[in-house]
Amino acid sequence: MLQYLLPILAVIVGAALVLLTRKKAYFNFKLLLAFSGAFLLALTLFELLPEVYAHLDPKQTGLYIMFGILIQIILEFFSKGAEHGHVHVHTDGEDFPWALFISLCIHSFLEGFPIHEHNDMVYGILIHKIPIATVITGFLIHSKFSKIQVISFLVIFASMTPLGTYISNHVSIFAEYISVINAIVIGIFLHISTTILFESGEGHKFNLTKLIAIVLGIAAAYMI
Ligand SMILES: [Zn+2]
Ligand SMILES: [Zn+2]
């Protein structure tokens, strides 16, 4: 049950963070983002990567992972980087950001697949989703969309990951190819987590707190 609830909880926590820290500076957002990137990357390397290599041919696995990286690159043409912590969509009017919405939903749906019972990946996705939900909620609140549009966006976005998990567990064709899909999702995770770490660099300036957040993310993934 936790595997379905935690990704939804992440969106609630992320949205609540925006509402609670409104007007205050985003003092810990970048640290949370750096921690989440390191945590997701380390969990992917510790848990997910060895598993797919054990089930699939090594070269094919590499190909699927590269395919996942390509999918995420394409998704980010549309989402403008929302999966790794910022939104550049400019909406002066009331046009609903369909491209952002659909690409985020595809991304969230796919990341539901590697979550199984006895799989710690759900914690990686929990931590990864909180800053993403914060960014999305902040963007939606400052837009001119109606309350119903904002709430529908968040509810559908929140339900995509559990939907992916449910389908991976209950639809036999997906269960059969779970290692292939997991390899593709590894590519997605590698791309977003390394982008988060890269973008948190800010011109290669040394930042001790950020470095500590990254080391803590790795350590937490190791000990989980
Ligand atoms: Zn970016
Ligand atoms: Zn994601």
CA of 70 to the centre of ligand 1 (A): 15
- Please report the pLDDT score of residue 24 as a whole number: 59
> For the purposes of burial, counting CB atoms within 10 Å of the CB of 11, is it exposed (0-12), middle (13-18) or buried (19 or more)?
buried
Ligand number, closest to the Cα atom of 79: 1
pLDDT in tens, 83-109: 888 877 666 656 778 888 999 999 999
Domain locations along the chain:
2-17+29-223
| pLDDT per position as a tens digit, 173-222 | 888 889 999 999 999 999 999 998 888 777 677 788 889 999 999 999 99
Output the CA 118–ligand 2 centroid distance in Å. Answer: 20
Report how far ligand 1's centroid is from the alpha carbon of 179 (Å).
28
Neighbouring CB atoms inside 10 A of 205's CB total 7
Mean pLDDT of the chain: 88
d(CA 130, CA 134): 6
The number of the ligand nearest the C-alpha atom of 199 reads 1
First to last CA, the chain: 19
Instruction: Name which residue leads in pLDDT, 19 or 178.
Output: 178
